Chain A
């Protein structure tokens, strides 16, 4: 699904002292089958705007040929919501067990399949969980396991677009690598569009086709892999360690190439000393 933001704004408490601009006149195009990284505060609103839980204050969103504006009527909102999965880092769930939770999400989005249990097991396997979890109480699961269950419940109804709000935060390296591979697989094999919202740039390395940097709702810079070495983003974002190191080496007069992978960096140092 192609997603276009056209002069999109979302502002609360407009024109009073508590005004917060979530999005401020944003123009962008997310091509279908791409993974994009979004960095900034309050971007969680994008998931709510795409699923028409909230409406734009100004401007419009185009999803294929569907237009979302401040006050247009949308036929079949549920049909739209089925096509977009939003990961929220929930800590509270509707149902008690893992199986019931995923089942209820499937029911909610009218996903029909003959063998429900097998489908749930398959969804769990995708996120790296065994069927032993089926009857576990969700509230007794750890933070990471809850994240995995929520992701499995989204994958279970097979949406075209997946919006991930701070999915990577709090995962250890191995899990981050596992999910990076999973998301790349979903993109390459199933042509999913994935929007990754994070507050650390490191998580976009090797994952995002394009990265967008926001400040106070305004889109400041966007670009491909080369963006991590763009000085324009560092008044806002925290500089990843590898960028900081490479830039320092360059500042001492040694011309080394710019990488975001430590193995490549080490080879580059080896060639240069």
Chain B
């Protein structure tokens, strides 16, 4: 196994011993390979993140670098994965303070803190908002700050609970580039199917197990299953499949220019 990979094995969990959320969830987090987690309503997407965050006791194993996570060493899990939840609230007065807060908790030197913040400042050109109060920001900027306040800790994995859809396309792509440049692997829980195309792998959980699991386009090819579970497909994939069905094209196009060229030869 490669360094930094995480195996989640035979995960079993219920909040109250009556309603079982997971009966047998089993998957890998691969370092450097981004992952989308999808699932119907109340299939346990957020719960899965809470377990990865070490909030509840579970049956089954989470294995980091061959070491099983247990009561004594679950700090390793927290260091490895940072989770941004939907109801995470921002605490500090200004954006700068918000970004500083987690770094101060990590006991970093002032110099290191400033380097990391300057880095973000250059990457996202957010100088204008750095000293603004968080409540005065737009939804896009607030969400960005929320995500960055975790990403700035440079965790191995950054798990985000359905927040990417609050970002505009430009910011979203900047963020993905930023995570990439810091070797942070994104785990994106999402209900917005268009976002699936940004990640390498998809994991779909359904009725307590991992229903489908694999590379993005491979998973999307299970069109019938995904539609039965209640999902739509990303627009270009959906369009390609249906045009393929009518015999107008013979493969999936993710790029509109190429598709149009192939349709109107």
State the A residues within 8 Å of B (CB). Answer: 18, 20, 41, 91, 140-145, 169-175, 199-200, 238, 241-242, 244-245, 248-249, 252, 254, 262, 265-266, 269-270, 273
Can you spell out 13 A-B residue pairs with CB atoms less than 8 angstroms apart? Answer: A142-B42, A169-B165, A172-B230, A173-B231, A173-B232, A175-B41, A245-B236, A248-B257, A249-B260, A254-B264, A262-B238, A266-B239, A269-B263
- How far apart sit A109 and B91, CA to CA, in the bound complex (Å)? 35
- How far apart sit A18 and B41, CA to CA, in the bound complex (Å)? 39
- How far apart sit A254 and B256, CA to CA, in the bound complex (Å)? 14
Contacts A172-B41, A238-B168: A248 and B256 contacting too (C-beta < 8 A)?
A: yes
Write out the residue numbers on chain B whose beta carbons fall within 8 Å of the beta carbon of A269. Answer: 243, 248, 263
Q: Judging by beta carbons under 8 Å apart, are B239 and A172 in contact? A: no
Q: Judging by beta carbons under 8 Å apart, are A241 and B246 in contact? A: no
Contacts A20-B136, A175-B230, A273-B264: A140 and B191 contacting too (C-beta < 8 A)?
A: no
Q: Shortest CB–CB separation between residue B106 and chain A, in angstroms?
A: 28
Write out the residue numbers on chain A whose beta carbons fall within 8 Å of the beta carbon of B40. Answer: 172, 174
Q: Judging by beta carbons under 8 Å apart, are A144 and B41 in contact? A: yes
Q: Judging by beta carbons under 8 Å apart, are A245 and B168 in contact? A: no
B193 beta carbon closer than 8 Å to chain A: yes
Between B133, B165, B169, B257, the greatest number of chain A beta carbons within 10 A of the residue's beta carbon is seen for B165
Q: Judging by beta carbons under 8 Å apart, are B139 and A143 in contact? A: no
Between B40, B166, B191, B242, the greatest number of chain A beta carbons within 10 A of the residue's beta carbon is seen for B191
16 further contact pairs, Cβ within 8 A, besides A172-B41, A238-B169: A140-B15, A142-B41, A144-B42, A170-B162, A170-B165, A172-B191, A173-B230, A200-B165, A241-B235, A242-B235, A248-B257, A252-B264, A265-B239, A266-B242, A269-B248, A269-B263
B216 beta carbon closer than 8 Å to chain A: no
The residues in B between 138 and 164 inclusive whose CB is less than 8 angstroms from any CB of A are 138-139, 162
Contacts A171-B41, A244-B256, A273-B264: A143 and B86 contacting too (C-beta < 8 A)?
A: yes
Between A144, A171, A269, the greatest number of chain B beta carbons within 10 A of the residue's beta carbon is seen for A269
Which of A170, A172, A245 contacts B231, CB < 8 Å? A172
- How far apart sit A265 and B138, CA to CA, in the bound complex (Å)? 34
Write out the residue numbers on chain B whose beta carbons fall within 8 Å of the beta carbon of A141. Answer: 42
B94 beta carbon closer than 8 Å to chain A: no
- How far apart sit A270 and B16, CA to CA, in the bound complex (Å)? 53
B10 beta carbon closer than 8 Å to chain A: no
B72 beta carbon closer than 8 Å to chain A: no
